[in-house]
Structures are given as structure tokens and as C-alpha cells.
Amino acid sequence: MKWPIQNQHGFTLIGVVFILVVLGIFGVTMLILSSVQTATGTFALQGTRAYAAARSGIEWGINRALPPNNSCVASSLLTIDGFQVTVGCVSVSITEGSSIYAVYTLTSLAEMGSYAGDEYFSRRLEARVTNAQ
């Protein structure tokens, strides 16, 4: 008498192939997630560096605009930590009673990379300061 189990051949092979395919898909998915996580950390770091460069540009502009320098330059280009920083300044004279003072509007744009590129980082900041006493 033959047992029904003896007539079945290759069933284990189908199970093994299925498990290997599932584990392969799982491995590829984990590899992709790992690379995305690494890229996200790198992009966050570069964004923070761009913010710091733009902030440095604002502080440089404030130092130039307020006394003793009193120089509001329309546009200046700086290089800070690999970022091209464009600092702009516009001054407006304000009269309040017998006091006349200036209000400076400073903008700072820090950029790294080409605009259409995958690794383009930029931050833009704006600040207003005055020389009022």
C-alpha cells in the first residue's frame, strides 16, 4: 500500500523558493530604507549649515549697517563654509518728532550647489534693525 504523501514530490521546493523571494524583497527594502535615512540626515545637516551661513551674513550686514560703520551696501557676496552668501541692505530714513534715524532691511541668501541639481541647499533670512537711540 502506497501512502498519499509518497506521491507528492517538489512541494518543499516551492516553499523554499517562496521564502527566499520574500526574504530577498525584505532585504532590498531594508537596504533602500537605510540609504534614504542616511540621505535625510545629510540633507538636514546641510540645511542647518545653510541656515548658519545665512545668519552669519545677516550678522555681517548688521555690523556694516550700524555705527560706527554706517555703511548699507546694496549687495555683497561672501563665501562662508562653502556657501555663496549674498547680503543685501536697503535703508529708509524715518523722522519721529525731532529725531531722525535709519531703518535697515537686511536680506541674506546662502546657497550651495546648482539650483536645478539634486544637492542644492539654500536658506534666506531677513532682518530689520535701526540706529535709533
Residue 5 resides in a domain: no
Residue 96 resides in a domain: yes
Instruction: Quote the number of domains for the chain.
Output: 1
Range of the domain at 70: 10-130
Return the C-alpha cell found at 52: 548658519
> Looking at residue 75, what is its pLDDT?
87
Q: Could you report the per-residue pLDDT of 21-76, keeping only the tens digit for each?
A: 999 999 999 988 888 887 788 889 999 999 999 999 999 999 999 888 888 888 88
Q: What is the pTM of this model?
A: 0.72
Residue 4 resides in a domain: no
β-sheet with 75-80: strand ranges across: 75-80, 83-96, 99-112, 121-130
Residue 3 resides in a domain: no
> Looking at residue 121, what is its pLDDT?
94
Handedness of CA 126, 53, 75, 119 (dihedral sign): negative
Percent of the residues in the chain that have a pLDDT greater than 70, as a whole number: 92
Residue 2 resides in a domain: no
Dihedral through CA 71, CA 75, CA 79, CA 82, nearest 10?
140
